[in-house]
Amino acid sequence: MASVQTGSADRDTHIKGEDFFDVEKHPTMTFVSTRVEPDGDDYKVIGDLTIKGETKEVELSYEHGGDLQDPFGNRKVGGSLTGMIKRSDWGLTWNVPLDTGGLLVSDKIVLEIDLQVAESSEAVADEAKAEAQLTA
């Protein structure tokens, strides 16, 4: 979380402070997928999102970008995850009322994650072992 940059040094300092992410006490935000489900031509990825030590289950949409083998024989899969959360669900409630009505900071946050994953040689070996046991 210490790498968050918004283009404004003052805003970056505020976001990293106690009103928002409290980076000193909570230096990381994590998402750990727990399952993947088909959703038409794409997939839903369900997992645990942890912000400021608070973990909640979220559902993100996965759009597949491609599947290939690199020059070294490693399988790579890429795509993007998108979804929306309410920051207040994680206790991020700081705000300022505006003179025109409404609030300075939206409660709705759009998550956009571009990713590339590589299949480990251990996963390939485990899969081959499991397939061998099924056919035996």
37-72 pLDDT, tens digit each: 999 888 999 999 999 999 999 999 999 899 998 888
Q: What is the pTM of this model?
A: 0.77
> String of b and e for 52-63 (b: at least 16 CB within 10 Å)?
beeeeebebebe
Return the number of other C-beta atoms located less than 10 Å from residue 92's C-beta.
21
Query: Under CATH, which number does the domain 9-135 receive?
Result: 2.40.128.110
Taking the C-alpha atoms of residue 57 and residue 123, their distance in angstroms, rounded to an integer, is 26
User: In Å, how far are 28, 108, 119, 125 from 12, measured between CA atoms?
Assistant: 15, 19, 35, 45
Q: What is the pLDDT confidence band of residue 118, given thresholds at 50, 70 and 90?
A: confident
